[in-house]
Amino acid sequence: MSKERIILMYHGIVNGQDPVPPGREVGADLYDVTESNFRDQLTMLREKNIKVKRIEEAGTVDVVITFDDGEANNCRTALPILKEFGYPAYFFVITRRVGRPGYMTMDELKTMVANGMVIGSHGMSHEILTNLKDTQIEEELAASRRYLERNLETEIRDFSIPRGFCNDKILRMAYAAGYKNVFISDRPRDLSDEQCHARVAVKQNWDLARFELAIKGEVPVKEAFMERTKNLTKLVLREGGYNWLRQVFIKIMK
Ligand SMILES: [Zn+2]
């Protein structure tokens, strides 16, 4: 299999000082990457001479960095490190949470843009789109884009699917709402759709060896098996049932 462009998905970059939002979704901390691990990961990219680019400029050997949810630590902790390395990144914001405790303020989003970062939409409410009526999906897509464009005075071209539940209809609606790129959590079903981008979620428990596999586009056999099981469970239980089961499991595992 040929090497594909790798798109990394981060959430919080944590250092024990900058806030994480109170009352986050169950399991959100699984995606908290420590500041020192984040720095080590970017150092590995630089040492391997892997370029970090925006999606439009990224070739098959490059990496794209994205962040979901718009946590305050993205501006306070991740931005200074990204600037140090000269790497651009995408930050997908839940518009109703802008300025809430633990999330970036509009001024912080402006700071990100001024520093060459890309702001995209992650919906208004973080609701799972496949559970919503068409008019609500339309609202999540279009109103969040309008809000960001009005406040940031820049074109918003990029959307990241809240919690990864997506289908062909939602992709079509996102493009109709003006988005040029839609970022999802797993592999797109239609590989010919060049506007839909699969990502790899960077997890809290990854060591540098696991990160190295990710940037090579590899998945350990055990994780690949777990992923297939998860996708099958999603298919059988549909979103509501899967989410319920996931929350139960996360609570048991704690
Ligand atoms: Zn999210």
Q: Say how many Å lie between the CA of residue 89 and the centre of ligand 1.
A: 16
The residue with greater pLDDT, 234 or 39, is: 39
Q: Say how many Å lie between the CA of residue 154 and the centre of ligand 1.
A: 22
Q: What pLDDT is recorded for position 2?
A: 41
Q: What pLDDT is recorded for position 4?
A: 73
- Would you say 15 and 79 are in contact if contact means Cβ atoms under 8 Å apart? no
E strands, 114-208, are 118-121, 158-160, 181-183, 196-197, 200-201
Q: What pLDDT is recorded for position 158?
A: 98
Q: What pLDDT is recorded for position 1?
A: 39
- Would you say 159 and 181 are in contact if contact means Cβ atoms under 8 Å apart? yes
The CA distance from 182 to 214, in Å, is: 21
**Could you read off the pLDDT of 79-111 as tens digits, one per residue?**
999 999 999 999 999 999 999 999 999 999 999
Is 170 strand, coil or helix? helix
Q: Say how many Å lie between the CA of residue 57 and the centre of ligand 1.
A: 25
In the predicted structure, residue 53 carries a pLDDT above the cut 70 = yes
Q: Say how many Å lie between the CA of residue 12 and the centre of ligand 1.
A: 11
Q: Say how many Å lie between the CA of residue 186 and the centre of ligand 1.
A: 14
Task: Give how far Cα 118 sits from Cα of 113, 148, 154, 159, Å.
Answer: 6, 11, 10, 11
N residues, the chain: 254
In the predicted structure, residue 18 carries a pLDDT above the cut 80 = no
User: pTM, whole model, 2 decimals?
Assistant: 0.89
Angle made by CA atoms 77, 9, 89, in degrees to the nearest 5: 55
Q: Say how many Å lie between the CA of residue 26 and the centre of ligand 1.
A: 12
Is 229 strand, coil or helix? helix
**Could you read off the pLDDT of 207-250 as tens digits, one per residue?**
999 999 999 988 888 888 877 777 777 777 766 777 777 777 77
Return the closest-CA partner of residue 187 out of 2, 6, 1. 6
Q: Say how many Å lie between the CA of residue 47 and the centre of ligand 1.
A: 30
Q: Say how many Å lie between the CA of residue 20 and the centre of ligand 1.
A: 14
Helices 106-114 and 134-152, axial angle in degrees (round to 10): 70
Q: Are strands 90-93 and 118-121 parallel, antiparallel or unpaired?
A: parallel
